Structure 1
């Protein structure tokens, strides 16, 4: 499956990126993630449907403020995320939107972790 974009009200959710137009790696480093293959791994997980993750972004600049994802386990799913300092509100809104997506589009019974 390709990454699916979600409108979460004030926030915009999209797949993680590291290309010539958008680079989420500085924001990931702010979240303690410095693995150079992290973005590629998240893309692979989408393709394999092992884990679905989103960059939670400020819609006018595209700046990544948080990451939220859902991991399916059979018919269940677990939603997890993290936010850069000062952006817990973005994570909360995104978590709700991802939960609705996982339940409605993926048919998962979802729990937060």
Structure 2
């Protein structure tokens, strides 16, 4: 499933002869800011990146998560990743996630990609509610939530794995 997101397009993560996202994934996951907020995945080499690409494809196939590479439209270069995880199609619920490579930050990539994923979630999947959570110190994520029309719910009871408070936002169809 590819999505036209205006300045960018959303496509499946790839590791094939025509397009290989693995080197960009390894570089993105080595970035200190990325590592600070994305704790549940470590991609230190091409083998781990291969497993990550395969995992995302399996999650799509199992209706667990819709995940897209955010790509530059003329080159196909990976700029980041956006997704709808913890999918519950019966309940009409998912949680949004997005990250952007260091070189592409500050250009509206995250909010553009997330808005496109939300349109697909509400329109294509029939979701009724999508939540978005982030660590309290992640001010960029707060800005993305506001730009994407989420409403602040407040802090979660349980902290993030980092020990920081998690802030929850939600958006309904």
> Does the alignment reach a TM-score above 0.5?
yes
Q: Is 1:20 matched with 2:33? A: no
Supply the distance in 1 between the matched residues of 2:100 and 2:55 (Cα, whole angstroms).
19
- Alpha carbon RMSD of aligned pairs, Å? 1.2
1:79 paired with 2:93, answer: no
Question: Is residue 61 of structure 1 aligned with residue 75 of structure 2?
Answer: yes
Cα shift at 1:31: 2.1
Segments of 5+ residues of structure 2 without an aligned counterpart are 30-41, 134-173
Higher RCO, 1 vs 2 (CA within 8 Å, ≥6 residues apart):
1
Q: Pick the structure with greater CA Rg.
A: 2
CA-CA distance at 1:20 after TM superposition: 0.8
- Of 37, 47, 52, 2:66 maps to 52
The total of aligned residue pairs comes to 110
TM (normalized to structure 2)?
A: 0.61
- The secondary structure found in structure 2 opposite 1:16 is coil
Query: Aligned to 2:103, what secondary structure does the other structure show?
Result: coil
The C-alpha deviation readout for 1:58-104, integer Å capped at 9, x for no partner, is 00000000100001133211110110013232121000110111011
Give me the TM-score of the superposition, normalised by structure 1: 0.91
Provide the residue aligned with 1:102 in structure 2: 121
Structure 1 position 112, deviation (Å): 2.1
Higher mean C-alpha deviation, range 54-63 or range 26-35: 26-35
Bigger helix fraction? 2
Structure 1: 5+ residue stretches without partners = none
